Amino acid sequence: MSHSAPHLHEDRLFDWYLAERDRESLDPRVAEHLADCAACAARYTELVGLMDELRVEADAGTAAVFTPERLRAQQQHIERRPEGRVARSH
């Protein structure tokens, strides 16, 4: 892609983010465009920052709900369950 190529669409940037995160094969055309287009590179950097912030917030929320004490109590409850008994669905 050259400088005259249209900017990358948001879904394309997000696909690139997911592929990078999951260590999947990356589209060389997107890599070239991000290297050549400062506007798209800046948007991608902003997306990565947003996703990193969301992950930190989600991890903090999960840690607040699933405390070590709560997880230990759940594990003990499961260990006390008679063998062969299936957990109920809610």
What is the chain written as a DSSP string?
A: --TTSPPPPHHHHHHHHHHHHTTPPPPHHHHHHHHH-HHHHHHHHHHHHHHHHHHHHHHHHHHHHS-HHHHHHHHHHHHHSPTTPPPPP-
Write down the pTM of the prediction.
0.68
- Structure confidence by residue, pLDDT tens digits, 40-65: 999 999 999 999 999 999 999 999 99
pLDDT of 82 reads 78
**pLDDT for 67 beyond 80:** yes
